[in-house]
Structure 1
Amino acid sequence: MEGAFVNLTPENLEREHLCCIIRSKKPHPGVEAKRQWLSDRLKEGHVFRKLDAKATVFIEYAPLETAWVPVLGDNYLYIYCLWVLGGEKGKGYGRALMEYCLADARARGRSGVCMLGAAKQKAWLSDQSFARKFGFETADATDYGYTLLARSLDGTVPRFAPQVKEPRVEGEELTIFYDFQCPYILQSVELARSYCQETGTPVTFHPVDSLEKAKALPCVFNNWAVFYKGKFETVNLLDLAAMKRILKK
């Protein structure tokens, strides 16, 4: 395996490439929103480790206690993202990143590592079949197709917050919960806002801007969640086709 890795720090955050959206010169609003979000998370023990190159090769995780997800458990780490895309696939980078996270958990005396999964792999969730190769197993599950995967190091397991099991919101309108953990969030919000304005479709946006709000969310969440007619729909970011499909229901 070739290539060196670097971890983001408060000192290098402003100058380092953030992997997801490849840009050369012009600042990207979503990347800058992500950078601002990270500036507060890094001091909480959040880890963003990436290939030291302009490529989509990285892992992002945090102590579960301060991870912005409605997952509960003692002493775990939570993986938001693990991605290796394009020409960098097949070089062992994914394995190296996962092994780094597990070694970090052991070094910190953590009980294990967990991540969001699904009965059917979702486009915006990291590859759960890859995680299972490292001993991740289903620790909790919902009746609507999502799972919590965990690699326990001491026999304990995390769990979804109780309200996640019965996902409902008041109101019939399209309802979107989001934070800025992912740099694609901003453009997805703007797409939904623009389309709903053009079509006269009622929509409500709920920015998740605190740990307390994240832990109290009414459904599974990695950085985005959609409801329609009071019913949970998806954690996938919406393109125009997906939004139209939901609104036809």
Structure 2
Amino acid sequence: MGGEYINLSSGNLIQEHLCCIIREKKPHPGVEAKRRWLAARLPEGHMFRKLNAKGCAFIEYAPLERAWVPVMGENYLYIYCLWVDGALKKHGYGQELMEYCIFDARSKAKSGICMLGADKQKAWLSDQSFAQRFGFQPVDRTEDGYQLLALSFDGTEPRFAPRVRHPELPDQQLTIYYDMQCPFILDRVDKLRAYCTEHAIPAAFVLVDTLAKAKSVPGVFNNWAVFYHGKQQTVNQLSPAMLEKLISRCDG
């Protein structure tokens, strides 16, 4: 316990690594895209706090009103991601990061903190059982098994945006919503575009590039959602081989 942490700012954003993908020399296009996205978000109150170490231990959150997620509410913080990985696990860093977020929320007189969860824990979601140890509880649910977890300080509760409850599209073609918050996204999109072009698969890649678009996406996850035949098929990032299997399953 007692790690040394860094809060990203306009002054240190260029030189600090972003935890998910660490490169020392050759720039990574996805990391640079995320860096540009962060540069625009930091003045809005976005927080990226990380352990001062070469590794993955960080928390990322923002005021809910400015958070790029289809969640509505007032005076809350929204946790995008709390992730500790590899050799940094089991040192108490996750607890310290969560405690900092709670302290930050209380010091700013926030009504609470919320985050995305699921009826069954997803590998890409922050550990909801860990969050529940701090008092987070489900306050809203979707029909396809996702939860909105909240730690309320004053009894108020956030909620999913209306379109989240029925994640469907009128268009039947392959449609992928994405943004640049995750550094893995850019490479995924480039490879899937190339695959769809090569195999003559009609596809729409919808860049979520404004807060308004993020608040109104027809699914729970703001930075990746795959629709086919008008229905949300997955929020997992796909390789071309995985997309081929998804299309085959849906068309079979």
Task: Place the TM-score, normalised by the shorter chain, in its bin.
Answer: over 0.9
- Once residues 123 and 172 of structure 1 are traced to their aligned partners in structure 2, the CA distance between those partners, rounded to angstroms, is 28
- Once residues 8 and 144 of structure 1 are traced to their aligned partners in structure 2, the CA distance between those partners, rounded to angstroms, is 35
Q: Which residue of 1 aligns with 2:193?
A: 193
Q: Which residue of 2 aligns with 1:218?
A: 218
Contact 2:168–2:231 at 8 Å: present in 1 too? yes
Q: Deviations over 1:92-145 (max 9, x none)?
A: 000000110011110000011111111122222211121111111111000011
Q: Which residue of 1 aligns with 2:171?
A: 171
What secondary structure sits across from 1:183 in the alignment?
coil
Q: Which residue of 2 aligns with 1:109?
A: 109
Contact 1:2–1:91 at 8 Å: present in 2 too? no
Contact 2:214–2:222 at 8 Å: present in 1 too? no
TM-score by length of 2: 0.96
Q: Which residue of 1 aligns with 2:100?
A: 100
Cα offset, 1:3, TM superposition: 3.1
Q: Deviations over 1:181-226 (max 9, x none)?
A: 1101111111211221222221111100100111111121242111
Cα offset, 1:179, TM superposition: 0.8
User: Aligned partner of 1:198: which letter?
Assistant: E
Cα offset, 1:241, TM superposition: 4.1
Q: Which runs of 5+ in 2 are unaligned?
A: none
Aligned-pair identity in percent equals 62
User: Aligned partner of 2:230: which letter?
Assistant: G
Question: Is 2:123 the partner of 1:123?
Answer: yes
- Once residues 247 and 124 of structure 2 are traced to their aligned partners in structure 1, the CA distance between those partners, rounded to angstroms, is 20
Q: How does 1:19-98 map to 2 (within 5 A)?
A: 19-98=19-98
What secondary structure sits across from 1:143 in the alignment?
coil
Structure 1's 5 and 89: CA in aligned 2 closer, same or farther, altered over 3 A?
same
Contact 2:75–2:111 at 8 Å: present in 1 too? yes
User: Aligned partner of 1:79: which letter?
Assistant: I
User: Aligned partner of 1:130: which letter?
Assistant: F
Q: Deviations over 1:10-55 (max 9, x none)?
A: 1111111110002121000000000000001000000000011121
What secondary structure sits across from 1:117 in the alignment?
strand
How many aligned residue pairs are there? Answer: 249
- Once residues 27 and 173 of structure 2 are traced to their aligned partners in structure 1, the CA distance between those partners, rounded to angstroms, is 33
- Once residues 74 and 22 of structure 1 are traced to their aligned partners in structure 2, the CA distance between those partners, rounded to angstroms, is 35
What secondary structure sits across from 2:38 in the alignment?
helix
